[in-house]
Structure 1
Amino acid sequence: MVGLLKRSAKMDKTQSASAKSVSPVQSKRIVRLQLDSEPSAKSGPKSKSSRERPPINKRYEKNSRIHNSAFPLKKQRGFVLGGAKLLNGTEDPLEAGLENPDLGPFLLKQTRDLISSGDNPRKALELALRAIKSFEKCANGKPNLELVMSLHVLAAIHCSLGQYNEAIPVLERSIEIPVIEEGQNHALAKFAGCMQLGDTYAMLGQFENSILCYSAGLEIQRQVLGEMDLRFGETCRYVAEAYVQALQFDEAEKLCQMALDIHRENGSPGSLEEAADRRLMGLICDSKGDHESALEHYVLASMAMSANGQETDVASIDCSVGDAYLSLARYDEAVFAYQKALTVFKSTKGENHPAVASVYVRLADLSNKIGKLRESKSYCENALRIYGKPVPGIPSEEIASGLIDVSAIYESMNDLEQALKLLQKALKTFSDAPGQQSTIAGIEAQMGVMYYMMGNYAASYNSFKNAISKLRASGEKKSAFFGIALNQMGLTCVQRCAINEAAELFEESRSILEKEYGPYHPDTLGVYSNLAGTYDAMGRLDDAIEILEQVVGMREEKLGTANPDVDDEKRRLAELLKEAGRVRNRKFRSLENLLDTNPQPIIKDGIRVL
C-alpha cells in the first residue's frame, strides 16, 4: 500500500532528484537464490546476500523489483527424444519425450541461456512451458524442486514481457509445491517463491499483498536459520525497504533495528552491510520527523562507506545529510553537504549525469525556501538541461521523477503553467508502462490539482477520474492518498455543480481517512467539513448539523475554543442551526462558501494533492 508522505519523508535522490517528494518506485533488487541439485543436509535457505542493489537510500523503483532465481543444474547428458504421436501417426513436437527425465533439465538450461542472452523471450517462454510439462510427468505426484525452479523461471519470463498478472498464479503454485518438513532445500524453494511473488505484486502496485508475501518468506527464513543469522538480517532490511515503500515507517523501523542488532551480535560493526542498514534507518527516522537521529545514522553510515573507499556512496549519503539539515532549517550546513555531493558526482559521474541534476534540484528547493527565487530558477534550469539530454543508459523513469521534482518547485513559485508542462512531459515518459500505474496515477492526480488551481475544472475532473481508476485497479483503494484524491475530486465536482457525485466521493474519502488517519487528523476533519457543506446543499440539513457538531467538538478538544478554525466551524454550525428553525423559508447558500476550500497540501510520491 502506498500512503502519503510529508516533505520530511524523502528517499535519497542521488539518482533521481526529489527535493520535495518521495518516489513511488523501488530500486532494483535482484535475488539470486540457489538450490543445489543434490540436496545437502547442511545447506540452508540462503538469503538475498548476492542480489544486486544500489545504495540503500536510492529511490526505490518498483518497476524492477523482480527476483531472478538462478539454480545450478546438473551437467546434462545426451538423450533421445521419445515420441508422443498425433492421430495421423506423426510426432507432436510439443509433447515429444516429456517422460524422459533428462528432457526437463535440458529445456530449462536452454531457457536460462536464452534469458541470459536476452534473445527471443517468446521462445524462452515456450521452452519453459515444455520444461514444466516434462517435470510434471516425471514427478509422479511428488514434490519436485526442479519443477519449482522452472515455475520461477516461467514467472520471470512473464514479468520480463510485462505479463505480471500471468506470473502471479505461476508463483502461487511454486509456493504450494515445496514441503518445509522435507528439508532445507524445500524451505529455500518456498522462500524464493514468496519473495519473487512479493516482487511481482510490488510491480503491480499491490503493496499490501507484496508485504504479506515478503513477511511469509521472512518467517520461513527465521524458522530455518534463526534470528541472529546474517542472511536473515539482510532479508529484514529488504522487507524493511518494502515497508518504507508502503510508508509504514513503524514496521520498517522494527525490522531495520533487527538487522542492526544482528550486525552487533555477529561482531560486524563498520561493514558495508551495516552501513546500508544505517542508511535505511536514517531514511526512516527522517521520514518520521526525527531528523537528529537520522543525522546520527547518516554520519555512521558515511564513516563506514568512506573507510571502505565507497566515494560515490558517501556523496549519496551527503545528499541525505543535506536533506536532514534542510528539514531542521540549518540551511548553511545543508548547502555545504549538497555542494560536497555535487563535487563528487561531477568528478565521478560527469557533469551531465542525473545524479548531478538531483543535487541541483535540492539546491533549488533550498534556495526557494529561503526566498532566493532567482538562484532557485537557475538551479532548476541546470537540472532541466541535464534531464533534457540525459546520458545514455539512464532509465526513463529516473528522468520522469526528476521532472516531477522540478515541477513541484515551479508550483511553489506559483508558475503553474511551467509546472504543468513538466508533469505532462513526465507523464509522456512513463506512458502506460506496466508496473508504473501508481506513479502515473500520482502524476495525473497532481495535474488535477494544477488544473483546479487554474480554474479548468473539466480538465481537473478528467485527470482525477483517470488517477482514481488507476489507483482502484492497482489495489490502492484503501490508502490515505486515495482518500485525499477522492476529496479533491469531490471539490472539483462541486465546482462543476455535480453535487450528488461530490457527496459520494466525500463519503468514500471519509471512510478511508478515518481508518488510515483517525477522526482527529486535519485531513479527515477537512473531509468532514466538505461533506457537511455538501449535505447542506442537498437539503440534508440534519446530517450536515450532525457532522459539524462532531467537527466542532473535535476541533475544540484539539485546538481550544479560541482557535480561529474552531470559530469558523462554530459560525457555520450556528448558521445551520438557525436555518433548522425555519426550514420552509430555507435559503440555499453558495456551496463553495460552505466547503473547506483550503486543505493542506499533501505530498505523495512527488505529487501534492490539495
Structure 2
Amino acid sequence: MRRAVSLIFSNLVDKSKTLSRNAPKSFPSPRPFPKCPFRYLQTLSQNTPAHPSPAPASLPSRQRKLRELSELEEAFEDATTTDEILSAFEALEPSLAPDDQKLGLACLKVGQHLESISFADHQKTLEFALRAVSILDRDSKPSISVAMSLHLLGAVHYTLKRFNDSLGFLNRANRILTALEKEGTCDFDIRSVVHAVQLQLANTKTAMGRREEALVNLRRCLDLKVAILEPDSRELGAAHRDLAEAHASVLNFKDALPLCLKALEIHEKQLGPNSVDVAHDRRLLGVIYTGLEEHEKALEVNEKAQKVLKSWGMGPDLLNAEIDQANIQIALGKFDEAIKTLKGVVEQTEKNSETRALVFVSMAKAMCCQEKFADSKRCLEISCEILKERESISPEMVAESYTEISSLYESMNEFATSISLLKRALSMLERLPQEQHLEGNVSAKIGWLLLLTGKVELAVPYLESAAERLKESFGPKHFGVGYIYNNLGAAYLEMDRPQSAAQMFALAKDIMDVSLGPHHADSIEACQSLANAYSTMGSYVLALEFQQRVVDAWGSYGPNGTNELREAERRLDELKKKACGSLSDMVLRKALPQESDTLHTGSSQH
C-alpha cells in the first residue's frame, strides 16, 4: 500500500511538473477591464446639449457653468493616455460635488485605466477604486456601476496580493450582477462585466490555491463567451483551450480532453492546420493524452505540433515540444530513442538555461529506467547546479524540477537526498500561495518518505500540513486527501495511538469510497487498515464488521482477486479466533471470584 501511495504522489508531482513546464499557464491572465460607460451611466441635465454651441457673452451664470461642466466632461471622456486622463480628471473634479455620481464614475474610469496598464503606484489606483465605491454605493442598491467598482477593488487587491480582500469584493460584485440578471431591469448589457468578474474570481482563487473552485468560474467564462461570440470564432477556440489547461493543471485530464479537441477543431477551421494556435492546441493535447496514459496518441500530436512550430521558427516552443517527445518516448519504454532526442535538444540550449536543466532531468529519467544509475546521478547533479542559480528567478519552475529530481533519487533508494530536495522545494513553494496544491503534494511526499525510513514522529506534521493544503486546494473529498489520512493512520498506529489511527483510517475510507468507489483496490486497503486498527484496540465487533467488508469487496473481483480474497479470509478467521478468545477471557473473569472478594469472604468467616 505504501509503495502505491508513493507512486500516486510521485505521479501527482511529476504530472504537475510536465504540465506547468510544457503548457501555457494554468489559468489565463486577467483580460482588459470592461470600459466604464461614463457617458451612458452619467445623468446629464436634459437641457444640456451633448455639444453645446457657443453662448453669448451675456449667458446667465448657471448656464455658463453647465456649459463649462459639459466641456470638462467631454474632455475627460475623450482622454486616452494616462497623462491626459489624470489631467482631465484634475480639471473636472473641482466642478463636481464630493458625492456626485459623475465623480464616482470618473474615479472608476481613472482606476480602471491605471489597473489595466499595471500602473506602478498601486496605492494611487486603490484610492481611485475606493472613492468610486464610496460614492456609487451610497444607497446600497445593486447597480452595474457599483459592480464594476467592486471588480476594480478586487483586481487591485489581487495585484497587491491581498487575496482574501480581493475575494470579498469580487463575491459582492458577483452577487450584484446575479441580482441584476434576475431582475432584467438593466438596459446595459452586463455580460462583459460578468465575464470580467468571473475571470478575476478564477485568478484570485487560483492564487489562493483553490483551483477546483476556480474551475467553476472559468466554466462560467466559457459559457458567456459561447453566448456572446460568433460560433467557431478564434477567441472562442482560445477560451476552450484556457479551460482545458485549467482542468489539466489539476490533473483532470478526462474533462480537459473534449475542451482541447474543441479548441483544435475551431482553430483548424478558422486558421488552417498549420497555424501557431493549432500547434499550441496539439502540444496541450499531447500533455492531456500523456496524463491519460495514451502515449501513442500523445506522440502523434506532438510530432504534428513540432512540424508547425519548426515552420514558424518558434525555437523555444519547439525545444519544449522535443522534450515532451522524449518524455513520451520514455513512457513508451523507448529509452535509447529518448536519449537521442534529448542529445539533439541539449546542443541547442544555452549553458545555464532552464531548458538545459530540464533536458538533463529527462535524460536522467531515461538512464534510471535503464538502471544506469551512475550516469543518471551525474545528469541530476548537472541539472541541480543550474537550478540552484535559478531559485530566485523562477521559483515555481525550480521547485517543480526539484520534486521530479527527488522522485528519481527515491527510485534509486537515495532517500536522504530525495527528502533534502523536497524540503528545498517546499521552502520555495511556501512563499507562493498559488502553488498551494503542489505544496500539499510535496509535504505529503516528505511525510511518506519519513514514515518509510522509520522517522514516524517527524512524518506526522508534514502529513497533517499536507492534508490541510490539499483540502483547501481540491476539497475535502479529493482522493489525495484520502491517501494522506491513510498514511497518518499508519503513523499513529506505529506510535501506539490506535484510536487516532482508527479515526484517520475511517476518514480515508470515506473519502476513497466517494472519490474512487468502494471496490477500488485502495478503498479496500483503507477498509483493511481500519479493521486492523480496531483489532489493535480490542474492538473485535467493529474489526470483524470491516474485515467482512474487505472479504466481500475482494470477492467481487472474481478470479482476478483470488489471492487477495484468500488473504482477507485468513485475517477474518484470525479475528474470529481473537474475538472468541477475548470473549472467553471476559466470561471467565466474570465467573471467577475476584481476589478482593475471596479475601473479604475469608475475613468474614473468621
TM-score (norm 1): 0.79
Question: Is the contact between residue 432 and residue 440 of structure 1 (CA under 8 Å) also seen in structure 2?
Answer: no
Alignment of 1:194-209 (within 5 A): 194-209=198-213
C-alpha distance in structure 1 between counterparts of 2:230 and 2:548, whole Å: 54
Q: How much has 1:215 moved relative to structure 2? A: 1.2
User: Could you tell me how far 1:444 is from its partner in structure 2?
Assistant: 1.7
1:10 aligns with 2:11: no
The question of 1:260 aligning with 2:264 is answered yes
Q: Which residue is 2:61 aligned to?
A: none
Partner of 1:437: 436
Aligned to 1:295: 299
* Residues 278, 300 of structure 1: 8 Å contact kept: yes
Matched residue SS, 1:10: helix
Residue number in structure 2 paired with 1:557: 556
CA distance, structure 2, for counterparts of residue 130 and residue 544 of structure 1: 64
Aligned residue runs from structure 1 range 302-381, under 5 A: 302-344=306-348, 346=349, 350-381=350-381
Q: CA deviation at 1:27?
A: 4.5
- In 2, the alpha carbon distance for the partners of 1:175 and 1:395 equals 34
Q: 1:102 to 1:376 in 2, by over 3 A?
A: same
The amino acid of 1:415's aligned partner reads: E
Q: Cα deviations across residues 65-89 of structure 1 (Å, max 9, x unaligned)? A: xxxxxxx9752435354599xxxxx
Q: Deviations over 1:440-475 (max 9, x none)?
A: 222221111121122111101121122223334445
SS at match of 2:565: helix
- Residue of structure 2 equivalent to 1:121: 122
Residue identity in the other structure for 1:129: L
Matched, 1:421 2:420: yes
**8 Å contact 2:403–2:421 — kept in the other structure?**
yes
Cα distance 1:11–1:482, how it changes in 2: closer, same or farther (>3 A)?
closer
1:103 offset after TM fit, Å?
5.6
Partner of 2:496 in structure 1? 497
Correspondence for 2:234: 230
The question of whether the paired residues in 2 share the 8 Å contact of 1:111 and 1:125 is answered with no
Structure 2 runs not aligned, ≥5 long: 1-6, 41-75, 80-84, 587-606
Of 510-519 and 557-566, deviating more is: 557-566
For residues 267 and 470 of structure 1, the distance between their equivalents in structure 2, rounded to whole angstroms, comes to: 42
Q: In the alignment, is the contact (CA less than 8 A) between 1:361 and 1:406 conserved in 2?
A: yes
Residue 436 of structure 1 aligns to a residue whose secondary structure is helix
1:370, distance to aligned residue in structure 2 (A): 1.1
Check whether the contact 2:93–2:103 (CA below 8 A) recurs between aligned residues: no
Rounded Cα–Cα distance in structure 2 between residues aligned with 1:40 and 1:360? 59
Paired residues of 1:561 and 1:567 also in contact (CA < 8 A): no
CA deviation digits over 1:182-234, x for unaligned, max 9?
A: 57852111112111111211222222321111111211221222542222221
Per the alignment, residue 599 of structure 1 pairs with none
Structure 2 counterpart of 1:584:
583
Per the alignment, in what secondary structure is the counterpart of residue 560 of structure 1?
helix
Q: Does the 8 Å CA contact 1:14/1:316 hold for their aligned counterparts?
A: no
Is the 8 Å Cα contact of residues 33 and 196 (structure 2) preserved in structure 1?
no
CA contact (8 A) 2:410 2:418 kept: yes
Q: 1:266 to 1:518 in 2, by over 3 A?
A: same
Aligned equivalent of 2:161: 162
Superposed displacement of residue 531, structure 1? 0.7
Tell me the CA shift for residue 102 of structure 1: 4.5
| Structure label with greater radius of gyration | 2
Shift of 1:374: 0.3
Residues 1:73 and 1:290: Cα distance change in structure 2 (over 3 Å): farther
Deviation of 1:265 (Å):
3.6
Q: CA deviation at 1:342?
A: 2.3
Q: Which moved more, 1:491-500 or 1:469-478?
A: 469-478
Letter in 1 for 2:297: S
> Displacement of 1:578 after TM fit?
3.0
Q: Is the alpha carbon distance of 1:277 and 1:571 closer, same or farther for their aligned partners in structure 2, counting shifts above 3 Å?
A: same
> Conserved in 2, the CA contact under 8 Å of 1:230 and 1:262?
yes
Structure 1 letter corresponding to 2:503: E
Given that 2:27 and 2:203 are in contact with CA atoms closer than 8 Å, whether structure 1 keeps it comes out as no
Deviation (angstroms), 1:237: 0.9
Alignment correspondent of 1:407: 406
Aligned equivalents of 1:399, 1:98: Cα separation in 2: 51
Q: Distance in 2 between matches of 1:73 and 1:555?
A: 73
* CA distance, structure 1, for counterparts of residue 241 and residue 125 of structure 2: 33
1:269-299 CA-to-partner distances (Å, cap 9, x unmatched) read 2211111111111111111111111111111
Letter in 2 for 1:10: K
Partner of 1:251: 255
C-alpha separation between the residues in 2 aligned to 1:564 and 1:586? 33
Which ranges of structure 1 fall in alignment gaps of 5 or more residues?
A: 18-22, 42-71, 85-95, 588-610
Query: Which structure has more RCO (C-alpha within 8 Å, separation ≥ 6)?
Result: 1
Tell me by how many angstroms 1:549 deviates.
2.5
Cross-structure match for 1:216? 220
2:107 touches 2:129 (CA, 8 Å); kept in 1? no
Whether the aligned pair in 2 keeps the contact of 1:559 and 1:566 (CA below 8 Å) is no
Kindly tell me the number of residue pairs found equivalent between the two proteins.
531
Equivalent position of 2:465 in the other structure: 466
Cα offsets for 1:526-582 (capped at 9, x unmatched) = 211111101111222232223223223332432627743333222212212333443
**Structure 1 counterpart of 2:380, which letter?**
C
The aligned counterpart of 2:544 is 545
Letter of the 2:331 partner, please give it: S
Q: Which has the higher helix share?
A: 2
Match of 1:132 in 2: 133
Aligned to 2:386: 386
CA distance in 1, matches of 2:390, 2:19: 15
Alignment-mate amino acid for residue 454 of structure 1: T
1: CA distance between counterparts of 2:405 and 2:417?
Answer: 10
TM-score (norm 2): 0.80
Compared CA separation, residues 272 and 34, structure 1 to 2 (3 A): farther
Structure 2 distance, partners of 1:15, 1:168, is 25
Find the aligned partners of 1:369 and 1:356 in 2 and give their Cα distance.
20
Q: Which amino acid aligns with 1:299?
A: E
Judge conservation of contact 1:175–1:189 (CA < 8 Å) in 2: no
Aligned partners of 2:335 and 2:367 also within 8 Å: no
Letter of the structure 1 residue corresponding to residue 171 of structure 2 = E
Q: Secondary structure at the match of 1:435?
A: helix
- Residue 317 of structure 1: how far off its partner (Å): 0.9
Distance in 2, Cα, partners of 1:444 & 1:304? 40
Structure 2 CA distance for aligned equivalents of residues 529 and 342 of structure 1 = 49
State the 1:39 CA deviation. 10
Flag the 1:211–1:122 CA change in 2: closer, same or farther, 3 A. Answer: same
Q: Distance in 1 between matches of 2:512 and 2:204?
A: 27
Query: Are the equivalent residues in 2 in contact too, given 1:83–1:97 (CA < 8 A)?
Result: no
RMSD over aligned Cα, in angstroms?
3.2
Partners of 1:140 and 1:487 lie apart in 2 by: 49
Counterpart amino acid of 1:380? L
Q: Which amino acid aligns with 1:214?
A: L
Q: Secondary structure in 1 aligned to 2:433?
A: coil
**For the Cα contact (< 8 Å) 1:252–1:284, is it kept in 2?**
yes
- Relative to structure 1, the CA distance from residue 316 to residue 39 in structure 2 (aligned partners, 3 Å threshold; closer, same or farther) is farther
8 Å CA contact 1:82–1:100 kept in 2: the answer is: no
For the Cα contact (< 8 Å) 1:16–1:399, is it kept in 2? Answer: no
CA gap of 1:511–1:15, structure 2 versus 1, over 3 A, is closer
Return 317-326 or 151-160, whichever deviates more: 151-160
- Are 2:20 and 2:26, in contact at CA under 8 Å, matched by a contact in 1? no
Which letter does structure 2 place at the counterpart of 1:236?
H
